[in-house]
Amino acid sequence: MTKETIETCWMLIGTDNKRVEYLSTKKRIKSGEKGIGRFALDRLGSKCRMYTKHDSEDLICWETDWSNFEKSGQIIDDVEADFTYCAGQRFEDIIPAEIKNAVAKFAEEAKDDQFVLNRGTLFIISGLRDKWTTREKEKVIDVLGYLIPPVEQQNYAIITQDSLDAIANKVDNDITDDFDYKVHARFDGERVIATVFRNEFDLNVMPKELFRQSAFCDEPYRMEDFFKGFYEVKYTIAELTGNDTSVFADMCRQVGPFDFHFMFMKLSNRGEGPYYYKAVSKKRKAWMENHGGLKIYRDNFLVRPYGDPTSKSFDWLGLDARKGVNPVAISDKSGQWHVNNSQLQGTVLISRVFNASILDKSNREGIIENEYFETLSSLLISIISIFEKDRAYIVRNIKQYNDNQNQREKAKEEATDIAKTLLGKKNRRPKEQQQRTASDAEKLAEAVQIFQEEKKYRIEMATCKSELESLLPRAGESASIDARILELDSQLERSVYGNAAIALPIKKDFTAEKINELISKIDSLIEGE
């Protein structure tokens, strides 16, 4: 803090300093607004000493005894604090050696030279009002882990020590790559741009025939989309929410821009059916117990109690109640599957400057739940629905594919059994042979149709290959020939696990010496079908 801030704003309630000068020297939005958060120091201990150093200014020492505020007949204007300007004294000299050593250690490990101790603010609290047990210390460390979102941990380091002679530990808001879905969304006041990451399905076991189904022929459900792992979507307010009224759109604009990042993690695959899921790690449950929930950060500082599992605000979006109203399975034909709150972990990033309509309560315990907060909640639920609809669509159509395959295989097996029975009993009398049921005839007819469809597909692939072979030597003669070559290539690509039948370098250079190589590759791919 600067000398001016200490002299004119520190310990003064309701100043507009942070409204007028809301950016720090590092262009970060300052936290706080009403000037009362600093008085929480009184709750921790009866006395407080603060050292602060700003750039080239002198070190300042500020000290107060909070018990002076408790004297009978005293008003706040009557209480004074001791001020000292420590000319020539270095900030790093007043920091305990154990803390300096801990910071230096983590700076070295992080290979970051930003962890310097030539300026900053140090609080020394004495006359502690509570007994700090091991359990209480662990609770504080857990809370500190969520104080800032993971993205900001590149700029901040939170280091704790039980005592000056104890080992220092860096507190992290642990992140994980073990997710089924991940969504990064940005609302700019007019529309939502979201990137959806899929990590739930095992592409090594998903059958290539699945991607020949019409449900998986269009973006973002093609084989190549699954192998890419993510896709981007853009929605207007009306497209996202289904509310096209100008009143609602105006409310959304007044809410202002925000970022929303969340992950979906199911805790087991039990009862989920054969949907080609990846195995679920046994560590997920413990991780979600410690890190689960959707939390709100204002200017990169946690707004409690949202997402706190010990609070009634753990499910502040009402996701569990929403699911309870319509508890359909993920594979339900309606596509109206909803996620449980316990399966989500994420952060909502808002700002005091850009989300001025989202107001903090005076005690800093939550946000005033007005119409703007309700609008924000509605937008967040709509963003969650992007992932819900994607997952439900995929699983529903996988189930349909599996049901069709099972029906086809059952029909073929039954027809084979019937045929073996008819051919195996040559001593059967003609009258007995005529007594075959109509059901058997229907099964045989269905099997014949299936075999014919499969034969037709093989013929189509062979025809496609043959035409491609004939056109390749003529590549470059005309635009129409080149277009047809690429069209045939696209047809083959759909049938071979997303691998291109024609490698990209070959597409760009249809030379005679590469034709034999290409034809050989196509042969192997088709034969592998």
pLDDT tier, 194 (very low <50, low <70, confident <90, very high otherwise): very high
pLDDT at 23 over 60: no
**In this predicted model, which residue has the larger pLDDT, 436 or 165?**
165
What confidence score (pLDDT) does residue 497 get? 39
Q: Which of 1-10, 12-21, 329-338 has the highest mean pLDDT?
A: 329-338
Phi, psi of 341 (to 5 degrees): -60, -35
**Residue position matching structure tokens 């000056």:** 164
Q: Which of 52-56, 145-149, 414-418, 446-450 has the highest mean pLDDT?
A: 52-56
Q: Is 503 helix (H, G, I), strand (E, B) or coil?
A: coil
pLDDT at 506 over 90: no
**In this predicted model, which residue has the larger pLDDT, 265 or 517?**
265
The number of angstroms, rounded, from the C-alpha of 144 to the middle of its chain's C-alpha atoms is 21
pLDDT tier, 499 (very low <50, low <70, confident <90, very high otherwise): very low
Side-chain-side CA neighbours of residue 420 (13 Å): 6
List pLDDT tens digits, range 93-150. Answer: 888 887 788 778 777 776 666 667 888 888 888 898 888 888 888 878 777 777 767 6
- Does the model's pTM come out above 0.75? no
SS percent in the chain: helix, strand, coil, step 5:
45, 15, 40
**In this predicted model, which residue has the larger pLDDT, 179 or 435?**
179
Phi, psi of 328 (to 5 degrees): -85, 155
pLDDT at 216 over 90: yes
What confidence score (pLDDT) does residue 168 get? 76
CA distances to 15, 51, 62 from 129, rounded to whole Å, are 29, 22, 21
The number of angstroms, rounded, from the C-alpha of 67 to the middle of its chain's C-alpha atoms is 47
Q: Which of 148-157, 192-201, 279-288 has the highest mean pLDDT?
A: 192-201
pLDDT tier, 501 (very low <50, low <70, confident <90, very high otherwise): very low
pLDDT at 75 over 70: no
3-state secondary structure 198-239: ECCECCCCCCHHHHHCHHHCCCCCCHHHHHHCEEEEEEEHHH
| DSSP state string for 439-487 | HHHHHHHHHHHHHHHHHHHHHHHHHHHHHHHHHGGGTTS-HHHHHHHHH
In the predicted model, what is the mean pLDDT of residues 213-217? 92
pLDDT tier, 246 (very low <50, low <70, confident <90, very high otherwise): very high
List pLDDT tens digits, range 424-447. Answer: 554 444 544 444 455 555 565 556
What confidence score (pLDDT) does residue 256 get? 97
